[in-house]
Amino acid sequence: MLHAHPRIAVPPETRFVMPAYRRRYAFGDLQLTANRQRLARWIVDRAETRFSVLEVDAEKVRQAIIDGPPTLGSAFGAVFREYSDSHGKARWGDKRPAYYSFIEELDALFPDAQFIHVVRDGRACVASLKRTPWLDHEPIPCMATWMMAIDCSRESGAKLGRNRFCEVRYEDLVTDPEKEMRRVCEFLGEAFVPEMCHPEKIAEQVNPAHYQQRRQISEGIYTKSMEAWRDELTPWEIATFEKAAGSRLALYGYAPSGIDQEPPKDKVHELLSEHRRLRQSLQSRRRSDRRKRVDADRPVAAVLTEGQRKAAAEPMRRPLASKLRRSARPVVRRTRRLWRTMVRLERPPRAAAAAPSAQQAVDNIEET
């Protein structure tokens, strides 16, 4: 629907932004041309990144990354800008369900980005996720994932504010598409275009032939799946989910099913434990990532647009802990070099097997 707008290009889902961000240090200092070449090859030449679904000139993208600003966000932006240019459009977007837990990182990569989060009835999401192999068709992980998505949305929306974060209820979108798309366009600062309410007209343009959703999109606005969860979920699944996630469902106006069954206590406990595990894992990952970003010598943010360049011009404010870690970094590096020399010269044959773990301990010190 967004891609139907004459100024906005949103491609099929790719698979390079999150993996490349998480292994960004493996590419080295992007100030060096050789490292930007390595990053460009990693994005463009690997089947795992799904770069091919963009159907753009690979060599042109490689060169744009190599010649562009030496930041990770700029490299990503060069890819999507080539996609929007190939469609003659001024703005580009990107979409992935997994971005719900990656908004903080996307904000660091694209400080002028706007975010649209589509919320759907959690019971319908669980029924849909159960049909996929991603979570082994198990209902509890599916339920916990939806709860996490809602938590992340609330937290990210509060931080970003109304000018940068917009939520759309799936049910409202498919039942009154013009009203919702007018609201989305107002948020984006773009004029509403009636063609946005007819995604079937461009289904073949934005969905590769092997995408199973292409056929559904070609039918137009699809409303048949809104209440399908009532037949696809078992009574204990509905009762368990409503018990654990009832407040989140109510927050978005989703009424209780009215099912007459007590939720199994062990399943409720299992669901709450799984949600807690996911939340703790995300919080731990984010703490580590924030520390790495603030300690880094060079930023990750794109500097391709006026808004991005304005954000890049602002001085970075480092907390005291970061300043201390950065001041200790040269000492740690010298210690690591010295340790490597000592291990090479003095390690007895029997200690050979222990060397990797010792070296890992030093690497962990530097990481900390």
Q: Which of 290-304, 310-324, 338-352 has the highest mean pLDDT?
A: 290-304
Tokens for 189? 């600062």
Q: How far apart are CA 252 and CA 59, in angstroms?
A: 46
User: Does the pLDDT at position 86 exceed 60?
Assistant: yes
Residue 238 CB contacts under 8 Å (≥ 6 apart), including other chains: 123, 229, 230, 257, 259, 261
Q: How far apart are CA 116 and CA 4, in angstroms?
A: 16
Amino acid at the residue 127? A
Residue with tokens 């107002």: 186
**Residue 142: predicted pLDDT:** 96
Mean pLDDT of the chain: 90
Averaged pLDDT for residues 284-293: 94
Q: How far apart are CA 24 and CA 177, in angstroms?
A: 39
More confident residue, 225 or 284: 284
User: Does the pLDDT at position 270 exceed 90?
Assistant: yes
**Residue 349: predicted pLDDT:** 59
User: Does the pLDDT at position 332 exceed 70?
Assistant: yes
**Residue 352: predicted pLDDT:** 47
pLDDT digits (tens, 9 = 90+) for 101-148: 999 999 999 999 999 999 999 999 999 999 988 888 999 999 999 999
Q: Among 10, 115, 112, 20, which Cα is nearest to 65's?
A: 20
* pLDDT band, very low/low/confident/very high, at 324 (cuts 50, 70, 90): confident
User: Does the pLDDT at position 217 exceed 90?
Assistant: no
Q: How far apart are CA 251 and CA 263, in angstroms?
A: 21
**Residue 360: predicted pLDDT:** 52
Q: How far apart are CA 58 and CA 83, in angstroms?
A: 11
Q: How far apart are CA 28 and CA 34, in angstroms?
A: 9
User: Does the pLDDT at position 357 exceed 60?
Assistant: no
* pLDDT band, very low/low/confident/very high, at 368 (cuts 50, 70, 90): very low
Q: How far apart are CA 20 and CA 78, in angstroms?
A: 14
More confident residue, 351 or 320: 320
* pLDDT band, very low/low/confident/very high, at 77 (cuts 50, 70, 90): very high
More confident residue, 352 or 112: 112
Measured at the CA of 114, the angle between CA 296 and CA 74, to 5 degrees, comes to: 40
**Residue 84: predicted pLDDT:** 97
CB 12 within 8 A of CB 206: yes
CB 322 within 8 A of CB 292: no
Residue with tokens 């009574």: 235
**Residue 41: predicted pLDDT:** 97
Whole-model pTM: value is 0.86
pLDDT digits (tens, 9 = 90+) for 43-60: 999 999 999 999 999 999
**Residue 256: predicted pLDDT:** 96
pLDDT digits (tens, 9 = 90+) for 163-213: 999 999 999 999 999 999 999 999 999 999 999 999 888 887 777 776 777
**Residue 139: predicted pLDDT:** 96
pLDDT digits (tens, 9 = 90+) for 137-176: 999 999 999 999 999 999 999 999 999 999 999 999 999 9
Averaged pLDDT for residues 302-314: 94
